[in-house]
Chain A
Amino acid sequence: MSYEPKTTQEVADGLAAHGYLADEGLVTAVFLALTLHRPLFLEGEAGVGKTELAKSIARWQDAELIRLQCYEGIDAAQAVYDWDYSRQLLHLRAAEASGEAAQSGTAELEGQLYDERFLLKRALLRAIDHGHATPPVLLIDEIDRADDEFEAYLLEVLSDFQVTVPEIGTFRTDNPPIVILTSNRTRDVHDALKRRCLYHWVEHPSFDREVEIVRMRVPEASEVLARQVAGAVEALRAINLYKPPGVAETIDWAAALGRLGITEIDETVLDRTLGTVLKYREDHSRVRDHGIAGVVQQAFDRGLLHG
C-alpha cells in the first residue's frame, strides 16, 4: 500500500526536504490527498509551482513520475493505450510467410495480434498497471487544454482506477497512483471532475516564503540579494501587469543575477535583467512608466535584514 503521512507536518517536512516549500493550505491539501486517496486538483496562475509540486511529491515518495501533458485533441490512443501497428503488420507478414496464417484460422491469428506484447501503454494505463510497491505519481498537466470529451473519459478512469482494453481485458489496481491535476483556468473544467478531487487554488507565496524559496533553490544568492529579489517581485506584482511574475521567474531572476555576479539590485541592473522576469513588451513599458526607481526602492527596503 502507498505511504500515508500521519500529520501535516510530515508532509511539509517531506516536501521541504525535496526542494518545495509549501504553505499551510497546500500542505493540508496534499496531506488529505495522500490519506483520503483522492486526486488533487490545482488551479492558479502560470508559474506558481503547480507542476513542480507533483515532481517534488514523486521525489519525496521515491516514486515514478508519470506525466500526461494535455493538449487539444488528445484522445484515448495518446493517453491510455494504442496498438503497435507496425509490429502487428510485421507479425502478420511473418505468419503468412511461414504458412502459419493459412493453417490457423482468422480467429487465432487475431488472438495473437491483440496480445499484450503489441499493446503500447500510455500514461494513464501505465499509472494503473505500474506493478511497483510504491504507486507512481500521475501528473495530468493543464487539463484545461484538453477538450471536454477527454474530461469525461478521465472522470471514468479516476473514479475506478481501471481501464478496459476490449481485446485483452480489464486492468485494475488496488494500489492506485497519487494523482495531481493542474489547470491554468483557460476554461472551466467540468464540475463532475472537480467534485471527484480535492481542490486547491495556488497563490503567489508570501514575501518571507519567497525569500526562503530563493535561498533554497539558488543557494549562491546571499540573503540580502534573495530579499531584494523577492521584494522587487512583490513590487512588480502590485503594478497592474498582464503577466505578474511567478515563483519560477523569481528563481530564474535570482539565478541570473547570481550568474552575473551581482550582489545588489540597482536601477541599471533591474533595467537590464527585466527580461528574465517580465515576458511582455507592454509590461516592460508599464514598469518603466511606473518608475523603476520605485521598484528598486522597495527592493532595497525589503533587503534590509532588520527593519
Chain B
Amino acid sequence: MASFTVESNPDRLAVGFARVLRRLDIATPLDSVLTFINALSLVGIDDRQSVYWTGRATLVRRPEDIAMFDKAFNVFWEHRESVEADEEEQLKVTLALDSEEEEGSADGNADASDEPTITLRFSGVETLRDKDFADYSNDEMQQAQMFMQSLRVAGPPRPSLRMKPTRARGKRPDMRATVRASLAASGEPMRRHWVTKGDKPRRIVFLLDISGSMEPYARALVRFVHAGVAGRQRVEAFTLGTRLTRITRELSSKDPDRALRAAGENVRDWSGGTRLGETLRLFNNEWGVRGMARGAIVVVLSDGWDRGDPIVLAEQMERLHRVAFRIVWVNPLKVTPGYAPLARGMAAALPYVDDFVEGHSLDALEQLTKVINHA
C-alpha cells in the first residue's frame, strides 16, 4: 500500500486495511476480513461513512479498539494524520525480566549433575522463604517464581446453579434419569434419581498496585498473580497506577516470561504515581460493580500510598465492599517493625477490608494463598 497508484479494487483495499489494523495490534482474523469484503460489496466503497461503519461492524470486536481503528481508518482511507503521531506518547516499558541466558545456564548445570542441583535449589528456596522481596536478586526471583507456581490459588467454592446428580434423597428429583430408569421396570418409577446444586469456584480478582513505592514488590507480586491467572478461567487481573490496565489476557499465557513481557508492554505506567481511589473508581465503573466483582474475592496488592483524595478511596472501597464476597488487602509493608497503617490511603481503606495480610516474602504469599482458598 506504499504505492501511489490509486487502488480501487475493494478486495485489495480491504486486505491492505486489515494489514494496517494487524500492525496496530487489533486482532484481525482472515474470516473477519472476508466478511468485511463481502459487506463492502453490498455497501459499496463510494461513501466513506458507510465504509467506516461497515469496518466497525465487521472488524472491531472490542470497544477498546475503536480509537485505534479510527486512527487507522483516517490514515488508510482518508490519508489524514499519521498513526505514529499519537497525542500521548506511548511509553513501552518492559518488566525487568531475568534474562533467558541465565535460565539456559541453570539448565545446563542441572544436566551435568542431576540430584544435587535439585536439592540445592530446593534449599535455595528454603533460605528464601522469609527473605523480603525488596532484597531479591534476579536469580532469587527466578527461584521464587518456581515456588509461586506451586501455590495453588483456587478460591473457595460457592453453590452453582448447575445441577449435578446425587445419591442423597430428598433433594430435587432428577426426572430425566428417573424416566430412563423406569423404562427398565416396564414404566414403574421404582428407582428415583435426584439432583443437587453443584459447586463452582468463586471468581478471584487481583488488583496490583504498580506505583513507584511498590516497585520492589510489584516484580515479585506480578509473578504471584501470574501463577494465579495461568490455567484458570475465573481469575481476573488488573494493574492500578495512574491508570487502570487489564492484564488478564496477557497473563493467561502459560509461559511466565512471555506473559510478564506481554503484560509489561501493555501497562504504560509502570512505577508511575498512584491515584488509588481514582483508578479503583475506574475499576468499579468499568468492570467491578457491573458484575466482575460481584460475589468475588477481590485481592488488592498495594502499600496503600495514595496521592489522591483518601475520601475518594474510602468511597470506592465501600462500593466494592458492597458487591464483593470478600476483600483481601495484601500490604508488603505490613511486616515493617512498628508499622501502623499511616499511609492515608491505607487508613481510609481499612474499614472495608476483610483480611489484611502481609505480602513481602514467599512465606507471606503461602499464607495469602491459604487466606484466599479458605475465605
Contact = CB atoms under 8 A, between A and B. Distances in A.
B236 to A, nearest CB: 8
Interface stretch (A12-20, A102-110, A210-218, A287-295): A102-110
Contacts of A106: 183-184, 186
A220 to B, nearest CB: 34
Contacts of A32: 39, 42-43, 54, 57-58
Interface stretch (B82-90, B288-296, B351-359): B288-296
Given A28-B50, A195-B61, A110 B161 contact: no
A93 interface: yes
Interface residues of A, number: 50
A88 interface: yes
Most buried by B among A36, A41, A194, A198: A198
B187 A101 contact: yes
A200 to B, nearest CB: 6
B57 A29 contact: yes
Nearest to B38: A36
Contact of B39 (A36, A71, A77, A93): A36
Contacts of A113: 179, 183
Interface stretch (B27-35, B125-133, B208-216, B342-350): B27-35
B179 to A, nearest CB: 5
A264 interface: no
B57 A198 contact: yes
Given A8-B43, A73-B161, A25 B290 contact: no
Contacts of A73: 160-162
Given A28-B43, A32-B54, A201-B66, A242 B183 contact: no
Contacts of B35: 36, 38, 198
Contacts of A271: none
A204 B273 CA distance: 33
B291 A184 contact: yes
A96 B66 CA distance: 65
A93 B187 contact: yes
Contacts, number: 120
Given A73-B161, A101-B187, A185 B27 contact: no
Interface string A149-175: 000000000000000000000000000
Given A32-B42, A242-B289, A102 B186 contact: yes
A41 B62 CA distance: 11
Given A28-B57, A43-B63, A85-B176, A109 B187 contact: yes
Interface in B59-76: 60-61, 63, 66
A206 B148 CA distance: 50
A148 B233 contact: yes
A194 B160 CA distance: 26
Contact of A25 (B43, B53, B61, B186): B53
A36 B37 CA distance: 11
A85 B60 contact: no
Please classify how large the interface on chain B is, using the bins under 10, 10 to 19, 20 to 34, 35 or more: 35 or more
Given A71-B161, A85-B178, A198-B58, A92 B187 contact: yes
B53 A101 contact: no
A282 B49 CA distance: 40
Contacts of B58: 32, 198-199
B57 A200 contact: yes
Contacts of B99: none
Contact of A75 (B56, B162, B189): B162
A184 B54 contact: no
A184 B291 CA distance: 9
Interface in B18-33: 27, 29, 31-32
Contacts of B66: 201
B179 A85 contact: yes
A24 interface: yes
A272 interface: no
A191 interface: yes
A92 B176 contact: no
Contacts of B61: 41, 191, 194-195, 199
B29 A195 contact: yes
Given A28-B50, A113-B179, A282-B315, A242 B57 contact: no
A239 to B, nearest CB: 13
Given A31-B42, A89-B189, A110-B183, 15 more contacts: A28-B57, A31-B43, A36-B42, A73-B160, A89-B187, A93-B187, A101-B187, A106-B183, A106-B186, A109-B183, A148-B233, A191-B27, A191-B61, A194-B61, A242-B319
Interface of B: 27, 29, 31-32, 35, 38-39, 42-43, 49-50, 53-54, 56-58, 60-61, 63, 66, 160-162, 175-176, 178-179, 182-184, 186-189, 233, 284-285, 287, 289-292, 294, 315, 319
* Closest A-B pairs by Cβ, 10 of them: A73-B161, A186-B291, A92-B187, A85-B175, A28-B53, A29-B57, A96-B187, A101-B186, A194-B61, A198-B57
25 contacts: A8-B43, A28-B43, A29-B56, A29-B57, A32-B43, A35-B42, A36-B35, A36-B42, A71-B161, A73-B162, A83-B176, A85-B178, A85-B179, A89-B178, A92-B187, A93-B187, A96-B186, A101-B186, A106-B186, A113-B179, A144-B291, A186-B294, A198-B57, A199-B61, A242-B284
